[in-house]
Chains A and B, each alone.
Chain A
Amino acid sequence: MNKTILVASIVIIIIVAGVAVYFATRPEEEKTVTPTEQTTTTQTTEHHAVEHATESTTMQHAEEMPAEEASQQLPARELGGRNKICVVYDIGGRGDLSFNDMAYLGASKAAKDFGLDLVEVQSTSESDYLPNLRTLARSGKCAVIVAVGFLMTDAVKQVADEHPDQLFAIIDGYIEGKPNVLSVLFKEHEGSALAGALAGMLAHYYGCKAVGVVLGMEIPVLYKFEAGYYWGIRYGEKIYEQHTGQQVEPLKIFFTYTGTFNDPAKGKQATEAQLAQGACIVYNVAGATGLGIFEAVEEAAKREGKDMGPPFAIGVDADQDWIKPGFIIASMMKRVDVGVYTAVKRALDYYNGKVDQYGGVLELGLAEGGVALSKLEDLETFLNMAVEAGTIKPEQKQEIYEKVKAMREQIPDWIWEEAYKLGDTLKTNKDIEVYGLKFSDIEKMIPLDSKEIKEIRDKLKVG
């Protein structure tokens, strides 16, 4: 018995000695890095002065140096040791082949282009958002902290107030009135209009009577998807009539809110109901619930002995065309990577004095490359992402690519051209009118509430 006590005490002595050695040998500089309460408080009180000071010195430097040299050298120096791009993912995290992986894509590209380090933090629980953001802000090393996902809105609001000297960006979240927060939003209605136009033309081409959309939770962002999609469908029908010279009967349009973003079973059920009523294109606006849409569409086609649509689904957020090759006609891409990259660039521009104001809302649409209808070229990027995540094997890549290509080729080129052309048109001219509703009218109504979306549905004869 005494032996065990002896062993225990020896172990304790070793530990104490180890800790002592650790403290004796740890590098001195680390002490200054570890932020203490004191520095934080001084930072906060001096913040306004500091902010102005940095701004003015940056301007001076920019004047002194030739412009080109300035843009290359200034960030690191003027950022005062803020040489990192810090990205906080929400609980979905990396490996979702969509939102978060795209954020990584954008952040790593920005890190490479601007010569900064990339720090990534994944959140294991909802309660992690606040401490993750706080720790990054306190470290004082982040040129900008990018919070990926609207779930972090509250946490960003709070930490941004505590650290007014730190720049933040939130993707998909709306935070107003903070000079140090940039809200990156997407014009989902623009991309959805292209998806709708494609759906409208395709449905008539295949001679079906209806198209549909399956949605997640009923939140205002999704109204933007809805409105754009319906408008696009009616526009597509008009173009189809013009091109073929025949009168067509207007399509029936179905929409179903499943109330969830992560229940594929519900997505499948809703899609089956729409297919049964004659829909042949179903747009996925439901996150992971949408995986059920793809399944339903694939099963319906296979029941008829086809290994390719119709019926088709339309993917969302990422280029999802590869998930069920041959059954997802295209995807409405919401380029989170572009959003993150743009946010980092804006932060650096602010440090460089190229822009005087950082905070505010940054809306990315067709013109900014923030939303787009997927093309065959986009597939490559996302296939690589899927390979990296281990979802598909490298040898499957070529096969999937060929299948998607074959699917696209069975549709007349003019339909594709018209769909992409609408994208170019909407960049400059939003006054195109269908059913007495201009695209710009829809845009003016944003943010949409439940009454306004009803009005739009009525005008475009939906449901």
Chain B
Amino acid sequence: MPEWLRRGLLRFGESVLSLVIGLLVGAIVVYVSGYDPVEAYRSLFEMSFLDIYGLSTSLSAAAPIMLTGITFAVGVRAGLFNIGAEGQLYIGALGAVLVAWIARNWVPALDSPLGTVAAYALGVILAVGLALIAALLKVKRGVHEVVSTIMLNWIAFWVVEYFRVYIVYNPEDPSKTVSVPEQARLPLLMAHSELSLAIIVSIAFTLLTYFLLWHTVEGYELRAAGLNPLAARYAGIKPEKAVILSFLIGGIAAGLAGAGEVLGKPPNYSITTGLSNLYGLGFDGITVALIGANHPIGIIFAAFFVGGLKAGARYMQIFAGIPLEMVRIVEGVIIIALAIPGVFHMLSEYLRRRKELRELQARGE
């Protein structure tokens, strides 16, 4: 059996085992609280994955978190803990809205697929800009990326809120920003659903990341620097370059996710009050990356599963009569169980690297 298949199967087995444990614990919680666990899971999985409309909803929920999962995963591959996807996603969405705003006020020609491209482009540029701030702080000043990205997330939040309230607001309904003009919206893949072309963009970019990381020199260097920066430097690889590249890819992914949410989510096609249609999508990406073992292919499936869980919250409420708070507990339990192997691997990897570094330093490196 080839090594990659063996490892893949192993990770898959781990995930399935965790899922079973998570489901069991969740079932106990539901049962103890006086609800029917069988009914709960039936409504969750049957609607999320077996019903055609439910499936489309799961997929549309998967689209943004697949990309923010990539942001986190590429960070981990480069030895970083990049949690800036949240803020970069906000800014990416703002980029798309800015194009919509420009189209509305000055350039009607953007009410076309040209506008879609422009919106994606501006969203990505802005998000990458934000990501590069954290990257440069890391490379030039040694600022830890956790600190800088958390702070940048809040800066992004309030910048976008400012724009939403004072500049790009919709005069007819000030609770949200202007909407993307009709011709510039991403086409729906299924009538009467929320599933738009954004999912294709997500999958395509995820596959592209896979190619970048595993089939190019830069990708190899990025992963090597992540595994052991000192050894990489010894081998002539610049770890700084890997940091910048990983933030760059992460920024593009988050920017695509944010712009995609605005361009491809009916009925608003805008940013709504308190960024409530964007909030949390970046952090969901961390979950997705952990479940997907920080591997693009794993992330595709993990995003689909987490998207299904997110969409499933409504089915558990509607068909099993379980209140939202309880649904969140159950989903939380399942997600934690699924993420445990990922966390475990990441932690042991981190400890191993630190130990190696210590040993190297002890030897007078």
Q: Could you tell me which A residues sit within 8 Å of B by CB distance?
A: 1, 4-5, 7-9, 11-12, 14-15, 26, 30, 34-37, 40, 86, 91, 93, 119-122, 124-132, 134-136, 138-139, 150-151, 153-155, 157-158, 162, 217-219, 259-260, 262
Contact = CB atoms under 8 A, between A and B. Distances in A.
A158 B318 contact: no
A131 B311 contact: yes
Interface residues of B, number: 49
Given A139-B318, A154-B268, A1 B6 contact: yes
A121 B323 CA distance: 8
A134 B165 CA distance: 29
B321 A122 contact: no
13 contacts: A1-B6, A8-B9, A30-B46, A36-B52, A121-B314, A135-B47, A135-B314, A150-B175, A151-B272, A153-B173, A154-B268, A155-B267, A217-B175
Contacts of A1: 6
B311 A15 contact: no
A138 B317 contact: no
A135 B276 contact: no
A136 B318 CA distance: 8
B6 A5 contact: yes
Contact of A134 (B53, B317, B321): B53
Given A8-B10, A125-B280, A158-B266, A219 B174 contact: yes
A446 to B, nearest CB: 18
Contact of A126 (B276, B310, B324): B276
A5 B266 CA distance: 44
Contact of B324 (A7, A9, A93): A93
Nearest to B274: A262
A124 B42 CA distance: 21
Contacts of B267: 129-130, 154-155, 157-158
A92 to B, nearest CB: 10
A34 B20 CA distance: 26
Contacts of A138: 53
B174 A11 contact: no
B13 A12 contact: yes
A4 B268 contact: no
Nearest to B280: A125
Contacts of A120: 317, 323
B332 to A, nearest CB: 13
Interface in B1-52: 1, 6, 9-10, 12-14, 16-17, 20, 42, 46-47, 50-52
Contact of A4 (B13, B20, B193): B13
A27 to B, nearest CB: 10
Contact of A151 (B6, B17, B175): B175
B341 to A, nearest CB: 12
A5 B277 CA distance: 42
